[in-house]
Each structure stands twice: as C-alpha cells, then as structure tokens.
C-alpha cells in the first residue's frame, strides 16, 4: 500500500533502484495490461521541424523553459496523428497525476512543503537573539555580526536563480532538489554550531541561505502541482502565511535556546528540526512535477519493455538545450525584464522596499523593547508576534477580496490584470501609518508599536499577494524570470537594510523617541511608492500593450 501510494518518493526510489520492490504496473500500461492504453490516442508523431515553428525569442532558443510546454500543448492538439512511443498520462483520471491524488496525500504534501518553507525561512531571524553573545565571543562589532543575518538573506535571493530553472527540468523535478539541498542544509547547521571564528560562520550562513532557497523558489509551484487551479490562491496564501510566520517566530525560538543554553544551540535546534523533516520527506514526499512523473514513467516502460524508443516530449526537447541556453534563461532574462519593463521595475522596488523594512525591524525592536522597556530576551522574541497576528488578518482580507471582488470580475467578464491592484490600492495606506505609529507611539506604551505591526503586515502581506498575482497574469510566459528578478532585488534590500539600520536610528534619534525619525523617513518614502498601484491601475494596460514580454 505504501509503495504504490508514495511511488516517486526518495525512499521508494532507493528501493526500486536496488530492485527490492516492484511497483504496480497498472498505471504504466493501463488496467487492460496493454502498452497502448498508457499513451494518449490523441498524441502526435514527433517532428523536429515542429519545434522550429515556435517563437524562440531573440537568441534562437526558448525565451523561457516554459515555452517548451507550449510546444507540447500545440502538438497534443493535433488529433489526426499519434505516436505510440510518446509517453503521457492515460487521461484526466490518471492516478499518477497529482490532481487525482487522495485528499490525505495532497494534505501531507502541502503540510510538508509549508513546514520546509517555515524551517528554512526561520533560519534567517532565529540567529538574531544570539548576536550579542557572538559579538562578545568573537570580538567583533555590530555590523560584522549582523552580516550573519544579511548573507543568509542574500543567499536565498540568489538560490532561486539556480534551483527554480533546475526544478522545471523533467529529468530533475522538485523532490530530488528538496531532499539533496535539505540534507546539505542540515549538515551545515552542525558546522554553524561548532565554528570558532566569525569568518567561518558568515561563510556557512551564506551557504545555508542558498541551500534553503528551493522551498522559496518552488514551494508555491509544488502546491500548484497538487491543487486544482480554482483553489490555488487559497493554498498559496496558506503557504505564504508559513513563510511570513517563520521570521516572526524565529527570534522567540532563538531566544529560548540562548537563555536555556547558548547561541550554539540555535543551530543545534535547526539541525534537529531539519533532520526530522528530512526523514519525513524521504519517506512521504512524492514527486509533484508532472514532467518528472512522466519521465519516471517513461524510464520504467523502457526498462520493462527493453525498448528505448519511448520518450516524453519535454525531456527530449530539454536534451537539446545547451549550457548557454540555460544560463540565459536563468541569469540574463530576469534582469533584462526588470530593466526593460517599467511595471516590473517599479513594483519590484516597491516589494523590495517593504521587505527591507521588515528586516529592519530586527534592528529597531531591540532599541524599543530592550533599551526603552527593558524586555528580557524571550520577551523581545514575543514582541514579534504582532506580525503573526497581522498575517492571519491579512490572509482573511485577501480571501475576501478574491471571493467577492476578483471572482465577480471574472464572472461578469470585466476582469483585467489590473483587477489585482485594487487590493494593493486599498491597503497601501497601512504601511506608512504603521511606521509612523511604531516610531512616535513607542514612548507611550509598549503595546502600541506591537499594534503597529498588524498595520504593517496588512499592507505587506496583501501587497505581495496583489503584485505577484498582477505580474503573473501580465507576464504569463516569463513568470519564472519575473519572480526570480524580484527575489534577487528584495533579498538585496533585506541584506543591506539591517547593516545600516542601527546607525540610521541612532543618528536620527531624539530624546524619548529613539526610532521616531528613522521610522518617519521610511514612512514618507512608502507614501511616495504607494502611488504606484494607482498609476499602474490607470496606465498599466497601455504599458503592457507596448511590451514584448507580455502575452
């Protein structure tokens, strides 16, 4: 039962490799036992010339890895031809297709992906309670110690440029990337716990930041693999909630380790949490990518029949891509779009600014709650829970918006990509308002800056939901590149802001209000960028009509 339910999981892969198990072959050959029934009857003969008819962009090869999928769909539309060696799903009810998995199996996958995102994302902020001890032990200043937070963040900004394209390759898929990178992530936590110099810790933190990025790069895609399109926004919101909750809970969990033992136990805890999750993924996380599932099916058919003519279209076309093709898709295209597209450029800066401000709170909170109100380390960790409360409220608001505004627009035929920007327009005031309250009410009572966190999250969470949805719909053929460029830019902001944060607050501080003018400066900037959703709501259709990347 387990073997068939969790085929294509790492544990079953190992057992299958050593020929210790034999999978149920009904899925491969159909219930009637014939090879023909496992292949679509509406498939096409493979013709190399058909690929030449596709739009290959400026460089003579697909502008995105996803363009190959478009070629597959077009070829599958030719109903008067068939190729008995082209392996595909048996039909809409094929049990191996992720949409046809049991509710329990889908739930397990969603929980695993969300937990993976939570643990690895928490690795950024869980370090902060131990920073003071690290400064004393290694004899370094505040900025150098803060690098351990910054390099982790820049690491998971760079990582998706590598892992996101790799996960889309049929021969690799998502499961193998999750397992391998999580294993290395877990092992390097041991190094972080045992290191005896600051340079070594900074290097290890950078590497673990890169290794944690597959969950951020493809976590949403994995959920999209198993959930039917109608319900994707709901579950992506839940996954986003896990991603948002992680850095909020990190300081509290890290503080508990520092108080109970010392800063090294922060990394021991991360190691044990990651190891437990790794074991769970090895046994209970099946491959979710359709292309990799078909590739595995094809390889099994080849092994059973001894006939090497069986193939999947995606794998065959990917074999033609050169290293240069992949490098352009992964490294050049995200920045090309960011530079040439004013919509992408402006909204990326808006998102990056809010992300940088979020990580700046890890500098301002100790000033407010430790210096002014003399919170203990654990109490300081608890002060971040306002963000967690705000994320629940913000998620509820996004669901209401999708249900009662977007869906009605779709039904009555008035939906445009700019529909998503209405949510950003509605919450844009919350960000500067939250910053002003945090800065100027901090000296009144400690509850007020915590309440300001809720306003901040109301904007930040829904801004992400709104802008990412808008960009995904506006640039459907290049969505991976758009998000990859966004990830690098926001990681750059989040990396830089903590490094200058304390100096900014100290230089702008006035008596009784240590973070007032620093927060106000950011508040005034966010008022300016809050105009962007309004501008693109009006001029977005015109700008998109002039773009070569929209479609």
Per-residue pLDDT tens for 206-238? 999 999 999 887 888 899 899 988 888 889 888
For residues 351 and 427, state if they share a domain.
yes
The answer to whether residue 58 is domain-embedded is no
For residues 385 and 307, state if they share a domain.
no
Per-residue pLDDT tens for 83-118? 888 999 988 899 999 999 999 999 999 999 999 999
Main-chain dihedrals φ then ψ at residue 9, nearest 5 degrees: -90, 165
For residues 201 and 344, state if they share a domain.
no
The answer to whether residue 38 is domain-embedded is no
The answer to whether residue 192 is domain-embedded is yes
Most confident range (mean pLDDT) of 48-52, 215-219, 521-525 is: 521-525
pLDDT of residue 231: 85
Residue 10 makes CB contacts below 8 A (sequence gap 6+) with 175, 176, 179, 281, 282, 283, 285
For residues 380 and 306, state if they share a domain.
no
Report residue 36's pLDDT band, with 50, 70 and 90 as the boundaries.
very low
CB 498 within 8 A of CB 365: no
Q: Which of 320, 342, 376 is the last residue of a domain?
A: 320
Residue 410, domain CATH: 1.20.1250.20
For residues 347 and 215, state if they share a domain.
no
For helices 213-226 and 175-194, the axis angle rounded to 10 degrees is 150
The answer to whether residue 310 is domain-embedded is yes
pLDDT of residue 228: 87
Counting every residue, how long is the chain?
551
Task: Quickly tell me which residue has 């969950």 as its tokens.
Answer: 215
Per-residue pLDDT tens for 178-214? 999 999 999 999 999 999 999 999 999 999 999 999 9
The answer to whether residue 352 is domain-embedded is yes
Q: Domain total for the chain?
A: 2
Per-residue pLDDT tens for 420-479? 999 999 999 999 999 999 999 988 889 999 999 999 999 999 999 899 889 988 988 888
- Asked whether the predicted pLDDT for residue 60 surpasses 60, the reply is no
For residues 290 and 401, state if they share a domain.
no
In this structure, the number of other CB atoms found within 10 A of the CB of residue 16 comes to: 18
For residues 446 and 349, state if they share a domain.
yes
For residues 338 and 316, state if they share a domain.
no
pTM above 0.85, yes or no: yes
Structural domain range at position 255: 1-23+95-320
Buried b (16+ CB within 10 A) or exposed e, 442-479: bbeebeebbbbbbbbbbbbbbbbbbbbbbbbbbbebbb
- Asked whether the predicted pLDDT for residue 65 surpasses 70, the reply is no
The answer to whether residue 46 is domain-embedded is no
When pLDDT is averaged across residues 150-157 and rounded to a whole number, the result is 93
């Amino acid at each position: 039962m387990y073997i068939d339910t969790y085929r294509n999981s790492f544990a079953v892969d190992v057992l299958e490799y050593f020929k210790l198990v034999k999978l149920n072959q009904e899925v491969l050959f159909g219930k009637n036992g014939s090879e023909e029934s496992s292949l679509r009857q509406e498939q096409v003969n493979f013709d190399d010339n058909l690929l030449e008819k596709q739009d290959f962009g400026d460089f003579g090869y697909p502008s995105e890895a996803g363009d190959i999928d478009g070629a597959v769909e077009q070829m599958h539309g030719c109903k008067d031809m068939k190729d008995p060696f082209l392996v595909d799903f048996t039909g809409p009810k094929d049990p191996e297709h992720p949409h046809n998995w049991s509710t329990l199996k889908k739930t397990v996958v969603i929980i695993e992906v969300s937990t993976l995102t939570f643990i690895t994302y928490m690795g950024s902020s869980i370090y902060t309670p131990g920073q003071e001890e690290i400064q004393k032990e290694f004899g370094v200043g505040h900025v150098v110690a803060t690098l351990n937070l910054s390099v982790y963040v820049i690491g998971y900004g760079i990582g998706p440029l590598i892992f996101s394209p790799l996960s889309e390759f049929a021969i690799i898929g998502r499961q193998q990337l999750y397992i391998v990178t999580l294993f290395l992530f877990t092992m390097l936590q041991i190094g972080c716990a045992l290191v005896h110099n600051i340079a070594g810790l900074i290097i290890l933190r950078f590497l673990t930041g890169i290794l944690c990025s597959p969950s951020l790069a493809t976590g949403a895609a994995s959920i999209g693999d198993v959930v039917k399109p109608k319900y994707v926004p709901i579950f992506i919101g839940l996954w986003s909630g896990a991603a948002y909750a992680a850095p909020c809970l990190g300081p509290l969990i890290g503080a508990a380790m520092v108080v109970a033992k010392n800063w090294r136990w922060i990394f021991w805890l991360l190691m044990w949490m990651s190891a437990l999750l790794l074991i769970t993924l090895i046994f209970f996380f099946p491959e979710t990518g359709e292309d990799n599932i078909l590739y595995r099916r094809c390889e099994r058919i080849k092994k059973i029949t001894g006939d090497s003519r069986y193939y999947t279209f995606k794998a065959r076309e990917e074999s033609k891509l050169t290293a240069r093709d992949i490098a352009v898709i992964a490294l050049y295209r995200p920045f090309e779009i960011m530079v040439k597209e004013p919509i992408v450029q402006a909204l990326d800066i808006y998102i990056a600014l809010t992300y940088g401000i979020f990580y700046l709170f890890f500098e301002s909170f100790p000033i407010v709650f430790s210096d002014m109100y003399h919170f203990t380390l654990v109490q300081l960790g608890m002060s971040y829970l306002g963000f967690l409360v705000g994320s629940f409220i913000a998620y509820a608001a996004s669901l209401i918006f999708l249900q009662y505004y977007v869906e009605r627009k779709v039904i009555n035929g008035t939906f445009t990509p700019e529909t998503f920007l209405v949510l950003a327009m509605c919450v844009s005031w919350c960000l500067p308002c939250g910053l002003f309250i945090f800065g100027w009410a901090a000296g009144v009572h400690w509850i007020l800056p915590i309440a300001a966190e809720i306003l901040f999250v109301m904007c930040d969470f829904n801004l992400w939901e709104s802008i990412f949805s808008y960009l995904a719909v506006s640039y459907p053929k290049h969505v991976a590149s758009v998000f990859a460029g966004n990830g690098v830019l926001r990681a750059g902001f989040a990396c830089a802001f903590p490094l200058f944060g304390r100096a900014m607050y100290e230089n702008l501080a006035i008596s009784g209000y240590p973070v007032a003018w620093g927060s106000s400066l950011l508040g005034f900037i966010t008022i300016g960028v809050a105009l962007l959703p309004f501008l693109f709501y009006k001029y977005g259709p015109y700008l998109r009509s002039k773009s070569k990347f929209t479609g």
